[in-house]
Structure 1
Amino acid sequence: MSNKFGFVIPDLWVQCPWPAIFHPNGAAIEAESDRWILSHCPNNQASLLRILPSLRSGALAAFCYNNCSDERFRLVCDFIAVLFLLDDITDELDTMDNDLFRDIITNALIDPTSYRPGMTNGKEHPAEEPDASRVVRDLWTRICAVTGLPVQQRIMKGLQEYFGAVRLQAERRSSGEIPSWEVYIEHRRLSSACRPLFALAEAGLGIELPEEVVEHPLMAKMRNYTNDWVAISNDIFSFRFEYARNDDHNLIAVMMKKYNLDIQSAVDRVADICGDALSKYLEAKAQFPSYGPEVDAQIQSFLHILQSWMSGNLAWSFVTPRYLGEKRLEIKEHRWVDLSEETLKEIRVEA
């Protein structure tokens, strides 16, 4: 093993104190969600039929939102499927096309009743509605029907921050800029899409946390530290996939290129940052004040989802072959990630 090129995944399971719990009806609702997105994407059915069975976005939802009712969980499942669709589309776009795509999706959120082509930077939107707009309008209509305006606004704000981060990512990809690790983490909090996904927890639970709870500095810290743990640990699992595509939007790549660390040292440093984020989350949670029995119960349900994101994303990384491929269960056992040229060629073919 020492003669091969790759790295050992640090023991993140030791860091994470919460069990990975799967939603009781997660598998059945995941299948319903897959059928829904296929039915609303006639122009992308071939690629979706290839991607969906291996992506298992519904399984990620089932691990992370395991305390939601079936009806609400379906909304969550659809939302995560749509986010993966948007993420895969924007990964292939340059800055200008990202702006156009962002405006199309924003218009779908502002007015989900119908598609109205507009213009971005002097470029007209397609006359025929893109599949992504169609699924967003359908989903957002259903979310708005069961949530209040404050929750809708929190989800919308998170999505706008995500689109802004995707644009910056495209700019950095074009310029070859490698940020410091601190700047990268600030950006990763937005590009991970965790912010709208955490706001979605309220919709999934059927609650609306008081503004003073949502805006409390300790609650903001808990969201950020959860975001850091999820996004940065995901960088460890996804590095194999991104390395094969020469994609530097990964903290391991930042550590290697900006700070001249070898690959294992970079991975270990990233794992240390994960551990620090989790410790800070626990500190903030221990200091969080009480708001009375009813609100406290809602807060605990919300924090359960944040904690399930940490354990759930860890578990999902070995359910989906998206990042670790067909040998993911072997990798889970021995934790060795092979980055030999032969393996990289296989990844490029799969992608």
Structure 2
Amino acid sequence: MVISMEKINQPALYCPFPYKVNKYIDVLEDETFEWAKRFNILANASYYQRFLKARFCLLSSSAYPSSELEELKIATNWLIWTFFWDDQCDLSHLSERPELLKTHNTRLLQILNGAETESDDIPLAYALSDLRSRFLQNSNNQWFHRFVQTVEHTFNAVEKQLTYQKEGTIPSVETYIKLRRSTSYVYTLIEIIEFCEQITLPEEIHQHIMIQSLRRMANNILSWTNDIFSVYKEIKVGDIYNIVILTQHEQQISFQEAINYAVKLCNQEVQEFIDLTERLPDFGKEMNAEVERYISGMRSWIRGHLDWYSSTGHYQTAEMLTIPFTK
């Protein structure tokens, strides 16, 4: 695939949701750094620099602004875990060996399901074991079971994408959008809204078609926003699995037009998210309040995620893309 890229005019991303930051953000910084050191996640200078640039505490504190400290610490540690495991999958030899990745993922799922760590496990396996015990101490079994299922679904999707990449498959934009929702880890982060806010949604409400639609829309917005901001980085490393790159290829349009299309798609999804929240059924007074807290958590993720890009160096390259946003 030939990727054409030129200087662009930067269209604005639409985000009318309020920006909030958790009151524990300053406490979180030191404790999060110590956790990452304890499990040898910052084993070399490169990982240490990536950790500093990413500003994980800012992202988690704006994504979970009402969380109590213990839950916020766990959520932040999970966020760090997903970033570093995702980077290993993308940037190491694992990106060319989906069968080896599957072996690692199988082992990680065993640990998440309660297996003891062993001497030959990778550092992230020990970190995951720590996260499992802390999740269970602060949640119920029903929530944790659903969380593990979501992680497994994500692992399977990442393995599928790496197989496509190894085979040189160029997916359609429609196929990619479906795959992207599953590879982005966003569903795991949305699950954690309930954990951080201590929300318990009955299964029938959690599975309600409109609640599931809101989750899917929030995932799309977060995943597409990530693609828009990371497109230069992915072009630089030759990764075509990005909505901007695939749109440009499929529609045979300019890079500017592909960026415009991705931003328009994202903005439409935000508006549809808003519209759908105004058409929700009456779940009863008490449950309506819980559902609103859950939806508020998704709004916080959408807004906090967007603001985070303006201050993080995680996707920084010489041609880092800076996209404004409208309220």
Alignment TM-score, normalising by the size of structure 2? 0.91
Residue in structure 1 matched with residue 7 of structure 2 by the alignment: 6
SS at match of 2:8: strand
- In the alignment, is residue 111 of structure 1 matched against residue 109 of structure 2? no
Q: Is the 8 A contact 1:72 1:206 kept in 2?
A: no
SS at match of 1:61: helix
Q: Is the 8 A contact 2:41 2:47 kept in 1?
A: no
Structure 1 residues 45 and 204, CA, compared in 2 at 3 Å: closer, same or farther? farther
- In the alignment, is residue 277 of structure 1 matched against residue 277 of structure 2? no
Question: Residues of 2 paired with 1:326 and 1:261: CA distance?
Answer: 24
- Could you tell me which amino acid in structure 1 is paired with residue 256 of structure 2? Q
Residue in structure 1 matched with residue 57 of structure 2 by the alignment: 58
* Deviation readout 1:306-332 (Å, 9 max, x if unpaired): 01111111101111111135886x946
Identical aligned residues as a percent? 22
Residue in structure 1 matched with residue 88 of structure 2 by the alignment: 89
Structure 1 residues 301 and 325, CA, compared in 2 at 3 Å: closer, same or farther? farther
Structure 1 residues 260 and 249, CA, compared in 2 at 3 Å: closer, same or farther? same
Structure 1 residues 164 and 262, CA, compared in 2 at 3 Å: closer, same or farther? same
Number of residues of Structure 1 aligned to a counterpart in Structure 2: 317
- How far 1:290 moved relative to its partner? 2.5
Q: Is the 8 A contact 1:55 1:322 kept in 2?
A: yes
Structure 1 residues 42 and 87, CA, compared in 2 at 3 Å: closer, same or farther? closer
Question: Residues of 2 paired with 1:45 and 1:153: CA distance?
Answer: 34
- How far 1:211 moved relative to its partner? 0.8
Residue in structure 1 matched with residue 79 of structure 2 by the alignment: 80
Structure 1 residues 162 and 333, CA, compared in 2 at 3 Å: closer, same or farther? closer
Question: Residues of 1 paired with 2:65 and 2:170: CA distance?
Answer: 37
Residue in structure 2 matched with residue 173 of structure 1 by the alignment: 165
Question: Residues of 2 paired with 1:300 and 1:226: CA distance?
Answer: 14
SS at match of 2:315: helix
- Could you tell me which amino acid in structure 1 is paired with residue 199 of structure 2? I
* Deviation readout 1:28-83 (Å, 9 max, x if unpaired): 21331121021112782544322211111221111111111122111111110111
- How far 1:199 moved relative to its partner? 0.7
Residue in structure 1 matched with residue 191 of structure 2 by the alignment: 199
Residue in structure 1 matched with residue 122 of structure 2 by the alignment: 130
Residue in structure 1 matched with residue 136 of structure 2 by the alignment: 144
Question: Residues of 2 paired with 1:42 and 1:161: CA distance?
Answer: 24
Structural RMSD (CA):
2.0
Structure 1 residues 5 and 42, CA, compared in 2 at 3 Å: closer, same or farther? closer
Q: Is the 8 A contact 1:58 1:80 kept in 2?
A: no
* Deviation readout 1:10-32 (Å, 9 max, x if unpaired): 200xx211122221221321331
Residue in structure 1 matched with residue 150 of structure 2 by the alignment: 158
Q: Is the 8 A contact 1:236 1:267 kept in 2?
A: yes
Structure 1 residues 154 and 317, CA, compared in 2 at 3 Å: closer, same or farther? same
Alignment TM-score, normalising by the size of structure 1? 0.85
- In the alignment, is residue 304 of structure 1 matched against residue 296 of structure 2? yes
Structure 1 residues 245 and 49, CA, compared in 2 at 3 Å: closer, same or farther? same
Question: Residues of 2 paired with 1:327 and 1:21: CA distance?
Answer: 29
- Could you tell me which amino acid in structure 2 is paired with residue 16 of structure 1? C
Greater mean alpha carbon deviation, residues 290-299 or residues 231-240 = 290-299
Unaligned runs of 5+ in 2: none
Greater mean alpha carbon deviation, residues 226-235 or residues 149-158 = 149-158
Question: Residues of 2 paired with 1:288 and 1:298: CA distance?
Answer: 13
Q: Is the 8 A contact 1:229 1:278 kept in 2?
A: yes
- Could you tell me which amino acid in structure 1 is paired with residue 7 of structure 2? G
Question: Residues of 1 paired with 2:53 and 2:224: CA distance?
Answer: 22
Q: Is the 8 A contact 1:21 1:312 kept in 2?
A: yes
- Could you tell me which amino acid in structure 1 is paired with residue 205 of structure 2? V
- Could you tell me which amino acid in structure 1 is paired with residue 310 of structure 2? F
Q: Is the 8 A contact 1:9 1:236 kept in 2?
A: no
Question: Residues of 2 paired with 1:266 and 1:332: CA distance?
Answer: 14
Residue in structure 2 matched with residue 220 of structure 1 by the alignment: 212
Q: Is the 8 A contact 2:42 2:48 kept in 1?
A: no
- How far 1:333 moved relative to its partner? 7.0
Question: Residues of 2 paired with 1:41 and 1:183: CA distance?
Answer: 37
- Could you tell me which amino acid in structure 1 is paired with residue 27 of structure 2? A
